[in-house]
Amino acid sequence: MSQQKNSLGVGMAFMASIFFIFGFITNFNIAMKDQVQLAFDLKTLYPGWENFFANLVNFVFFVAYACFSFLCGGIIKKIGYKSGVVVGLVLVAIGSYMFFPAVAVLSYPLFLTAVFVMATGVVFLQTAANPYVAILGPQETAPARLNLTQALNGVATTIAPFLAGILVLAPAVLALKGGATAAEAAKFVQMPFVIIGSLVVIIAVGISFIKLPVIAGDNTIPSKAVLKKPLVWLGALGIFCYVGAEVGTAASIAPYLKTSGFALDVAVKLSAIYWGGGMVGRFFGSILLGNLPNAKKYQYSAFVMVFAYFVGWFITSASVTDGQFVFESQPMNGFIFLGIAIANFFLMLLGKGKANVALGIFGTVNMLLILAAIMMPASVGMWCLLSIGFFNSIMFPNIFTLGVRNLDPSEMPLASGIINTLIVGGAVIPLLMGYITDQVGARWALVVPIVCYAYITLFAMVLSKKN
């Protein structure tokens, strides 16, 4: 029993670091949109299309999931989870190093190619990591394990945009103010990615020497058997809706607030709460969906609530303005964030530790929050939108574990490939919402995520119960 616990601990520690890595890389790239627009002077390169071409950074990143997730699943089935992670890290490193020549010659197409190569590495990491965590221990506690690793992913996604602003945007803005050309300012994009690539190479070398728990499956099951599992496809559609709604809602927060009279810099700063809520909610999920004694669950949850106040206070107080780091203490925002965290905790308790019930409750809550944001004044509606991050928190791990329930370990890589392919929802749904925003307004665009959350609720409460 002791050896089994040690094996589980080694595997979880290893996977936690992988989730942190690909979470940081994903949001660092997403946060690069504005920095890239500035560094490459897209307004001059593509006059009238600069916002479209800046958004290609995100589009190219998420399209990699549609192109390679299923293929990655097949490769990982043959070479194993550990080798799949090493391949992913190597691709991330190659993509990171490609940023240097792309910026040196100011080639935006080469820059997008680097993003695509890096994203392909992230696809390998995610396709290997999610099923490995799910089958590393008992099936009934799989949601708790995935929520814990996703919480560490959330820590990375919360700090990545902040660091992107400090490491890239701030020095680039100061250089331009000092009379530097766009080409000179663009060089500030290079070194962060060289550092990322070097760190990833070191981690890949270290992992290659680590002995991980080997999870054996029934190799007599044909690969195509997974294609005949309806629950996998229903879960994949749930992931499409979840990622699309999460990214689309996040992208709609700034336009929603801007059209309601908020300054753009205030809107962007407030939207940081959205991602912080997802991080805190995943910590709650890892605690409440596990098999800890109730006393321990409440004790750990109290620590998370204290952490929630700090997160809400800090991420709304800190910003990068005119190329400089600025900190203006906003304690009231910390208390509001704490209040939402407490509501998130009690609503998660209603799930009674069951992944599908918690998922159904959160899907319903998100629909109601979006309806309130559409109908109410922005002073109230903005907090409804920002709260959605909390209730998105457990969706990916819970949808994933429900979608792969009762699969043999040998079927997991291909099932993960199918599900991760539909992360492309993060590219498709935000574009649709952007079009609706341009045509009829930001509030009407929020109808799209309502439809997404309606399907997620249906999947949780009805479809996931089917074999």
- Please identify, among 181, 211, 241, the residue that sits at the C-terminal boundary of a domain: 211
Q: Is residue 217 in some structural domain?
A: no
407 contact partners, CB below 8 Å, separation of at least 6: 226, 229, 232, 415
Q: Are residues 134 and 199 in the same domain?
A: yes
Residue 55 lies in a domain: yes
Collapsing DSSP states into helix, strand and coil, what is residue 78? Answer: helix
Measure the CA–CA gap between 217 and 297, rounded to whole angstroms. 33
Domain stop point among 211, 245, 277: 211
Q: Specify if 449 maps to a domain.
A: yes
* 25, part of any domain: yes
Looking at the structure, tell me whether residues 178 and 288 fall in a common domain.
no
How far, in Å, CA of 95 to CA of 401, rounded? 30
Is residue 186 located within the same domain as residue 247?
no
User: Are 34 and 128 in the same domain?
Assistant: yes
**CA dist., res. 287 & res. 363, Å (int):** 20
- 318-321 vs 324-327, strand pairing mode: antiparallel
Q: Are residues 257 and 123 in the same domain?
A: no
d(CA 134, CA 145): 7
Question: Which residue has tokens 């054996």?
Answer: 216
Residues 74, 78, 84: CA angle, nearest 5 degrees: 80
Which distant-in-sequence residues (6+ apart) come within 8 Å of 179 by Cβ?
none
Nearest CA to 354 out of 453, 285, 404, 278 is that of 285
> Residue 408 is part of a domain; what is its CATH number?
1.20.1250.20
Spans in the chain with pLDDT lower than 50:
1-3
| 216 part of a folded domain | no
Tell whether 141 and 255 lie within a shared domain: no
Considering the domain architecture, whether residues 253 and 401 belong to the same structural domain is answered as: yes
Domain that holds residue 417: 225-467
Q: How many helices (H) and strands (E) does the chain have?
A: 20, 2
Residues 231 and 335 in one domain: yes
Same-domain status, 42 and 180: yes
Choose one of 182, 211, 240: the last residue of a domain: 211
| Cβ proximity of 103 and 189 under 8 Å | yes
Q: Compute the half-sphere exposure of residue 397: CA atoms within 13 Å on the CB side of its CA.
A: 38
Indicate whether 94 belongs to any domain: yes
What is the rounded CA–CA span in Å between residue 380 and residue 103? 43
pLDDT at 342: 94
- Report angle CA 430, 434, 440 to the nearest 5 degrees: 140
pTM confidence score? 0.78
Do residues 161 and 269 share a domain? no
Q: How far apart are CA 276 and CA 285, in angstroms?
A: 14
Is residue 220 a part of any domain in this protein?
A: no
- Report if residue 219 sits inside a domain: no
Same domain, 105 and 135: yes
Give the chain's domain count. Answer: 2
Same domain, 162 and 245: no
Vertex 55 angle, CA 378 and 185, to 5°: 105
